[in-house]
Amino acid sequence: MYKILRRKELNPTVTLLDIEAPLIAKKAEPGQFIILRVDSEGERIPLTIADYDREAGWVRIIFQIVGGTTEKLNHLKEGDFINDFVGPLGVPTHVDGLKKVAVVGGGVGCAIAFPIAKKLHNMGAEVHSVVGFRNKDLVILEDDFAAVSDKMMMTDDGSHGTKGLVTNALKELIESGEKYDEVIVIGPLIMMKFVCALTKEYGVKTTVSMNPIMIDGTGMCGGCRLTVGGETKFACVDGPDFDGHLVDFDEALERGSMYKPFERHAHEEACNLFAKEVQ
């Protein structure tokens, strides 16, 4: 059993929990994830490690309420317990040797991007953060990103940040003369697809964090498979980070829409919007 040490609502649909898990905190690195079960009869869900404290022995998760399990998780309070909390899983984000990096986060993906930006900052790298939300009510971790970023740009519908998409902001940075060792982008598939199209045009190495359907987290079920460079990979054991210029995003989007048919039209609309903005 794993105790909830802290609970905070970041916005109406996104919640932060700090979980007492000293063994996981001891080994956790940015980019990795855990799999939890709220109770003994609950489903297994993967959540990326949003932060950790090795000395205090806690691991932070940030989740969006999108289904029965996250709804149940959201009802737990400080002092309550989670039945299973397994990790760290996946390959940590490779940051060694990077001196100047643009970290791009979209929506709840910012919860995954933040620990990477934080580690890069603590290593002495120059970090430019580009974070995007649909509107001001959905903004999360703004102060956290500001604390670890040498330069920060926020985009949304114009209600809080700069009106536009993260691709606009990143393009502006690149065309202003910024030279990045790497761009690390985490967010909705459609966002990552068009960021990668942009960075490929400018020849900038780009890493993405993939989040397909995942069940066991050990490569056994095959649910998280995707195509990278013409080869089948499994996000849980080969990733979740991959070379964004090699990922078959169209296939990933198609597979995702099989599990969430109601999102197909939303994907098409988003694709048209990004395409128009990138042109």
Distance from C-alpha of 253 to C-alpha of 259, rounded to nearest angstrom: 10
Of 164, 175, 170, 202, give the one whose Cα is nearest residue 185. 170
Q: With pLDDT > 90 as the criterion, what percentage of the chain qualifies?
A: 65
Domain ranges of the chain: 2-89, 100-278
pLDDT band at 261 (very low <50, low <70, confident <90, very high): very low
pLDDT band at 256 (very low <50, low <70, confident <90, very high): confident
Least confident of 132-141, 168-177, 266-275: 266-275
Least confident of 69-83, 201-215, 221-235, 254-268: 254-268
3-class SS of residue 104:
strand
Q: Any residues with CB less than 8 A from the CB of 38 and at least 6 apart, and which? A: 69, 72, 73, 76, 82, 83
**Whether residue 270 has pLDDT greater than 60:** no
Alpha-carbon torsion 239, 60, 110, 175, what sign? negative
Kind of pairing, strands 45-53 and 33-37? antiparallel
Q: How confident is the model over 199-218, as a mean pLDDT? A: 90
- Tokens read off for 219: 């490569």
pLDDT in tens, 114-126: 999 999 999 999 9
Exposure of 222 by Cβ count < 10 A (0-12 exposed, 13-18 middle, 19+ buried)? exposed
pLDDT band at 161 (very low <50, low <70, confident <90, very high): confident
Number of H helices, E strands in the chain: 9, 16
The pLDDT of residue 78 is 96
Higher pLDDT, 164 or 244: 244
Mean pLDDT of the chain: 88
The pLDDT of residue 122 is 95
- At how many degrees (to 10) do helices 264-278 and 189-202 cross? 20
Dihedral, 165, 116, 107, 65 alpha carbons, nearest 10: 170
What string of DSSP letters covers 127-182?
Answer: EEEEEE-SSGGG--SHHHHHHH-SEEEEEESSSSSEES-HHHHHHHHHHTT---SE
Distance from C-alpha of 119 to C-alpha of 125, rounded to nearest angstrom: 9
CATH number of the domain located at residue range(s) 2-89 in this protein:
2.40.30.10
Q: How confident is the model over 51-60, as a mean pLDDT? A: 96
CA 154 centroid distance within chain: 16
pLDDT in tens, 232-253: 999 989 999 999 999 999 998 8
> Which residue carries 């909830």 as its tokens?
4
Distance from C-alpha of 70 to C-alpha of 181, rounded to nearest angstrom: 36
Of 83, 104, 118, 124, give the one whose Cα is nearest residue 209. 104
**Whether residue 266 has pLDDT greater than 50:** no
CB 187 within 8 A of CB 48: no
The pLDDT of residue 260 is 56
pLDDT band at 51 (very low <50, low <70, confident <90, very high): very high
pLDDT in tens, 27-47: 999 999 999 999 988 888 899
Higher pLDDT, 116 or 265: 116
CB 84 within 8 A of CB 36: yes
CATH number of the domain located at residue range(s) 100-278 in this protein:
3.40.50.80
CB 230 within 8 A of CB 253: no
